[in-house]
Structure 1
C-alpha cells in the first residue's frame, strides 16, 4: 500500500501548530543506537571480510612460490573459461594481483551481504516491529532512519576497507588501496540497493530477498561475461558492480576512474531511496502485498512454516543445482588446472583426501557446498527467533498449537531442506562432471555432509530455545567453520584447529573409504542439541 505524505505538515502550517522536525533530525542519535545494537555483529562481519582477504597472500605464496609458477598459473587460469566464471580473469602475476583475483569478488559479495543486513535491519525491520513508530513520535526526521542505516553501513565497509588496505600495504600501497576501496565500494553499492528495497517492500524478509536477488543477478552477469572474455572487457561484466570491482585491477595497473561508476551508482540509488522515503508513511510500502484468500487454507503449523520458507528453500535449491553444474564441469579438468604444481595438489589432497586428483577435487567441492549449506540451516532455524521477536508467533501459539508443534514445522523445513540442497548439489555435480558411473558416488559424497550440517542446525536450535539473546552467535559458529574449511588447508593449520569444524571429521568422499562412526556420532550430537533447544523453548516464556 502506498501512502503519500504532506497533509499533516500542511495542516500544521495552516493551524499554526508545531512544525515537523527537520528531515534529518535525530540522525546522530539513531546512528549511535544502530552502532550500539550492532556492536558485536558488525565487528565480526568486518573481521571476516578483511580476514579472508588478508589470509590469502600467505596461502598463495605456499602454492606459487616463484614468479614463474605465478605466471604459469595466470596463463592457465585465463585459458580456462570455468575458472574465469568462478573468479574472473587474472590481470597480473604478483601475489597482490592473484589475491585480488582469488578473493576480491567474494570479499565484495560478503561486504554486500553485510551491508544489506545492516541497512534492512535499521530501516524496514525497525518499521515492521513497530519500534520505528515509537522513535518517530519524538524529534526524528522522516529521512533520519535511512540516513543512520546508510551511515552504519558506511562505518562497517570503511572498517573492512581500511583493514584490507593496511594489511596489504606492504605488497603495494596503490594496489592495497584499490582493493580496499573496491570491496568497500561494492558493499556500499548494495547498501544503497537495500535502501531502495526497504522502501518498496512491506517486510524485512522481502527487502533482503530483493536485494539478494539483485546481488545474485550481479554475480551471474559477471560470471557470464568473464566466461566468454579473458580480458574483462565483456559488456555483461561491466553491467555488474562485481565486475567493476575486478576491473579496478588492484595490483595490476589500477584503473581509478572505475571508482566513478561505483560512486555514481551509490548516489543515484541513494537519491531514489531518499525520494521514496519522503513519500510514504511509516510501515507502508510502494509494492502492495497481495491479499490472502478470504478463507484460510493453512490448517497446520507445518503448512504455515512451509508457506513462510518455501521461497528460500526453492531459491537455495536452484542455486545449489546451478553451482553444482558449473563446478562439476570444472572437476573434469582439475588435472589441467592444477598442472604440475605439487603445492596445489597437496592442498587439494588435504581438503579432499589422498585419492586421485579428480576424486579429491570432487570431495573438496562437496565439503565446501556442505559448509555453505550450514548458512541455510542456521538462517532457517533463526526464522523461529524472527517469528518470535516480531510477535507473529504469539497469535499462533494463542490457538490450539503447542510450542513444539510450532517449532517442529520450521525445523522440518530447516533440516529437511538441507537434504534437498545437498541432493540438488550432488545431482548438478554429477551431470556437470559427465561421468555416469560416478554419479552415485558424487551424490553420496554430498549427502554424507548432512550430519555436520545438522550439527550446526542443532546448535542454532539450542541457542534459540535456551539462550535466545545469544541466537545470533550461530552465525559466528558457521562462519568459523567456513573459514577453517576454506583457508585452513591452504595455511596448513594444525589438526587440532581443523578438528574444531565438524566437517573435518567426515570421510573424504568420493574416493575414500566410507566410515560410519563419525556420521552416527555427529547425527546423535545434532539430535541431542535439538532436543535440548526444544526443551528450553518449552520451559521459557515467549519473548523472554
Structure 2
C-alpha cells in the first residue's frame, strides 16, 4: 500500500458496504416511508375535520405529550400537515438516528473487532479508506431514508417544500448521530460499548429536547442543545424555515472530520480509551449458562426497561385528557378498539398492548443473541468446555423467560401509575400490572418461535423473527383502521390476548399460546442438537 494514498480503495469499500447493507437499507426505507404514508392516511380518517383536529391539539398541552412528541407548532390552526409533523416527526427522527448508529457501529467498529478489517488492510487499502467508506455508507442510507420520507408525504397528499424539508431533516439528523457513533467507535475497542455510548448520546438529546420543550412551548435554550430539536424547529407545514438544518449539517461535518482524525491516532483494533483489565477470577454467576446470559443481556434489558417505563408513565398521564376531547373525534372507534362509555379502561388497555410491542421486540433480540454468540465464536468455547447444547439453549431461554415478565410488570405498573396520577384512582396501578402479565404467553410464544428458527433454520432466524415483529406492530397500529380480516389479525399473538382490563378474561387463547411456546422450545432444542454449530 502506498503511504502517500491514505484514501486508496475508498470507492470500492463504499460499494462493498452498500452491497452488504442492501437488504437492511431497503427494510429501513420501506418501513419508515410506509409508516409515514400510513400515518397520514390514518390521521386523515381519524380526524376528518378541523373540529376533530383541534380537539386532538388540546391534548398537546399536556407536558407528557410535549415530551413524547415535541413543540406543538400550529396548534391554533391544526392542519393535517401540522398534525402529521407533531405526531410523527419525533418517531421518524429517532428511528433514522438509531439506524445510522447501528450502521456506523457495524462498519466502523464491528468489522474491525471481528478481524475482517485487518484482512482488508493487508490489501492496497488506505488508512482512512475504511472509516470514510463506512461513513459514506451511512450518508447514503440517510439520504435514501430522507428521500423515502419525502416521497411518502407526496404520495399521501402532503408534498411540496415542507415534504422536502422533512426528508432533509430526517437525513441530516440521522447523519449527525451516525457521526456520533463514528466518534464513539474510535474511543472504545468494543463495538457494543461504542454503540451503547452513541445510543446514550441519543437518549440525552431526546431528554434535552423534551425537557426544553416543556419549559418553553416553542423551545427553550435547553432544546437547542439537541440535534432533534434542530430538525423540529424547521416548523414544517406551519412556518417553514430552513436555517436550523444548517446546524445539523455543520455538526455532522465536524463530527465526521473528528472521526477520521481520531481514526488516524489509534492502532488498528484498539480504542483511544485503554481497556480496563478484568478481575483475576470470574464471579460465581458467570460460571453458569444463566449467569453468562444475564451478563450479556444486562445492557439490552436495562435499556428496554428504562424506555418502557418512561413511555408508560408519559402515555398514562394522557388518559384524562383523552376523555375530555373524545366527543369531538367522531372516528375514534375506527382507530382504536374503544368503549366510549368506559374510555379510560379502553385507552389504558390499548396503550398497554402498544407497550407490549416493545417487550416483544426485546424478546426477539434476546433470543437472536444466541445466534450472535455462535457467529462470534463464544458459543463454541462454552460447548467445547463440556456444556451440552440443550443446557446452553435452555439456560439462555430461561433468562429470557424471567426477564420478559419483569418488563411486562414494568409496563403495567408505569402505565397504571400514570393513569392513577391523572385520574386520582390508585387502583389502576394494580389492575394494569395484572393485565400486563396476561401478555406473557403471547411474548413467550414469539420467543419460542424465534428459538425454533435458531435451532432449525438459523440463517433465516433474524429475517423471519423481525418480519413477525413487523407484522405484529402493523396489526396493532393499522389493523383496526384498515379493517384487516380476523384471520390476518390473529396471526399476531398479541391480538389473541384479551384487551384487559376493558375486555373479559379468556383463558383458552392464553393456554393455547403457552402450549405453543412449549412446543416451539422443544423444537428449538431438538434442532440445535442436530445441526452444525454454524449451520
Q: TM-score, normalised by structure 1?
A: 0.92
Paired residue for 2:520, among 526, 529, 533? 529
CA contact (8 A) 1:484 1:498 kept: yes
Paired residue for 1:448, among 430, 438, 456? 438
**In 1, Cα distance between equivalents of 2:63 and 2:371:** 42
What whole-Å deviation, never above 9, does each CA across 1:287-328 have from its counterpart, x for those lacking one? 233222112222212211112222222232233223222222
Asked if 1:91 is matched to 2:73, the reply is yes
User: Residues 337 and 138 from structure 1, CA distance in 2 versus in 1: closer, same or farther, beyond 3 angstroms?
Assistant: farther
Offset of 1:515 from its aligned partner? 0.4
Partner of 2:348: 362
**In 2, Cα distance between equivalents of 1:460 and 1:105:** 30
Partner of 2:172: 185
Offset of 1:377 from its aligned partner? 0.9
Offset of 1:407 from its aligned partner? 2.3
CA contact (8 A) 2:451 2:524 kept: yes
What whole-Å deviation, never above 9, does each CA across 1:405-461 have from its counterpart, x for those lacking one? 222332222232111111112121222222222332211121112222222222221
Paired residue for 1:114, among 69, 82, 99? 99
User: Residues 288 and 492 from structure 1, CA distance in 2 versus in 1: closer, same or farther, beyond 3 angstroms?
Assistant: farther
Offset of 1:342 from its aligned partner? 2.2
Offset of 1:99 from its aligned partner? 1.1
CA contact (8 A) 1:172 1:251 kept: no
Offset of 1:346 from its aligned partner? 4.2
CA contact (8 A) 2:7 2:129 kept: yes
**In 1, Cα distance between equivalents of 2:164 and 2:250:** 19
Offset of 1:335 from its aligned partner? 0.6
What whole-Å deviation, never above 9, does each CA across 1:47-79 have from its counterpart, x for those lacking one? 1111111111111111111134324433x0342
- RMSD over aligned CA atoms reads 1.9
**In 1, Cα distance between equivalents of 2:461 and 2:509:** 26
Q: Secondary structure at the match of 1:123?
A: helix
Stretches of structure 1 that go unaligned for 5 or more consecutive residues are: 1-17
CA contact (8 A) 2:2 2:126 kept: no
**In 2, Cα distance between equivalents of 1:38 and 1:463:** 22
Asked if 1:196 is matched to 2:183, the reply is yes
Paired residue for 1:167, among 128, 149, 152? 152
CA contact (8 A) 2:59 2:321 kept: no
CA contact (8 A) 1:461 1:530 kept: yes
CA contact (8 A) 1:430 1:443 kept: yes
Asked if 1:140 is matched to 2:125, the reply is yes
Partner of 2:6: 23
Q: Secondary structure at the match of 2:256?
A: helix
CA contact (8 A) 2:149 2:167 kept: yes
CA contact (8 A) 1:244 1:258 kept: yes
Partner of 1:462: 452
**In 2, Cα distance between equivalents of 1:236 and 1:526:** 47
**In 1, Cα distance between equivalents of 2:302 and 2:153:** 39
**In 2, Cα distance between equivalents of 1:123 and 1:21:** 22
What whole-Å deviation, never above 9, does each CA across 1:345-391 have from its counterpart, x for those lacking one? 4423x2x5676110111111110110111111111112111111111
CA contact (8 A) 1:338 1:345 kept: no
CA contact (8 A) 1:116 1:194 kept: yes
User: Residues 166 and 322 from structure 1, CA distance in 2 versus in 1: closer, same or farther, beyond 3 angstroms?
Assistant: closer
Asked if 1:471 is matched to 2:453, the reply is no
CA contact (8 A) 1:423 1:443 kept: yes
What whole-Å deviation, never above 9, does each CA across 1:109-150 have from its counterpart, x for those lacking one? 111111111111112111121111111111112222222222
Partner of 1:130: 115
Offset of 1:177 from its aligned partner? 0.5
Q: Secondary structure at the match of 1:235?
A: coil
Partner of 2:232: 246
CA contact (8 A) 1:463 1:470 kept: yes
Q: Secondary structure at the match of 1:513?
A: coil
Partner of 1:288: 274
Partner of 2:493: 502
Aligned length: 523
Partner of 1:208: 195
Asked if 1:432 is matched to 2:423, the reply is no
What whole-Å deviation, never above 9, does each CA across 1:491-524 have from its counterpart, x for those lacking one? 4444343333221111011121100111111122
CA contact (8 A) 2:417 2:428 kept: no
**In 1, Cα distance between equivalents of 2:472 and 2:482:** 15
User: Residues 355 and 480 from structure 1, CA distance in 2 versus in 1: closer, same or farther, beyond 3 angstroms?
Assistant: farther
**In 1, Cα distance between equivalents of 2:103 and 2:442:** 29
Asked if 1:257 is matched to 2:243, the reply is yes
Partner of 2:303: 315
Offset of 1:202 from its aligned partner? 1.9
**In 1, Cα distance between equivalents of 2:325 and 2:435:** 22
**In 2, Cα distance between equivalents of 1:136 and 1:21:** 15
Q: Secondary structure at the match of 1:140?
A: coil
Partner of 1:222: 209
What whole-Å deviation, never above 9, does each CA across 1:251-304 have from its counterpart, x for those lacking one? 112110011011011011111111111111221112233222112222212211
**In 1, Cα distance between equivalents of 2:282 and 2:344:** 52
CA contact (8 A) 1:380 1:413 kept: no
User: Residues 100 and 394 from structure 1, CA distance in 2 versus in 1: closer, same or farther, beyond 3 angstroms?
Assistant: same
Offset of 1:106 from its aligned partner? 0.2
Q: TM-score, normalised by structure 2?
A: 0.93
CA contact (8 A) 2:65 2:315 kept: no
User: Residues 206 and 408 from structure 1, CA distance in 2 versus in 1: closer, same or farther, beyond 3 angstroms?
Assistant: farther
**In 1, Cα distance between equivalents of 2:161 and 2:445:** 44
Asked if 1:332 is matched to 2:320, the reply is yes
Asked if 1:343 is matched to 2:331, the reply is yes
